[in-house]
Amino acid sequence: AVPIDAQIILVGDEDQLPSVGPGQVFKDLIDAKVIPRVNLTEVYRQQDGSSIIELAHKMKLGQPIDITERFHDRSFIPCTAEQIPDLVDKVVSSAVKKGYDMSDIQVLAPMYRGSAGIKRLNKVLQDILNPKAEDAREIE
């Protein structure tokens, strides 16, 4: 039970993908316009001058984008799903050899399973950035 004077704060992004299951409670609450809401507009996850911010804004506005155009902070490499783990390995290993810090590297994947999924790519990235130590115990 919740006390009668309790306040509930809901945090979410109305521009995210819709709910996977039935219903869309968060979107319905936003659309109802009967509860106070605050829109956060400042981007903190990307640096100033990031092409990713511009790309996201264009997508949100339904404007055409060219993901193949190269920028200093992102690139597009055409390949099959099966080639992605090896390409991620090559690109990230190269970045590490050039002196990039782990916090400078970001890999995005649209799914959990499969050869290009998060689970597979996390294993590839762990082997590069945080390899198993023979003398250390590890939680799996």
For residues 110 and 60, membership in a common domain is answered with no
**Are 64 and 96 members of one domain?**
no
Domain, as residue range, for 106: 77-133
How many domains is the chain partitioned into structurally?
2
92, 128 contact by CB (below 8 A): yes
Q: Residue 107 domain-assigned?
A: yes
For residue range 86-137, list pLDDT tens digits in order: 999 999 999 999 999 888 888 888 888 898 999 999 999 999 988 888 888 8
Q: CA 51, CA 71: separation in Å to the nearest integer?
A: 7
Residue 140 within a domain: no
Q: Are residues 92 and 57 in the same domain?
A: no
Is the C-alpha dihedral spanning 83, 89, 91, 92 positive or negative? positive
| Same domain membership, residue 43 and residue 11 | yes
pTM: 0.60
Q: In this predicted model, what pLDDT tens digit does every residue of 5-46 receive, in sequence order?
A: 998 888 888 777 777 778 888 888 888 888 888 888 777 777
| Residue at 115 is within a domain | yes
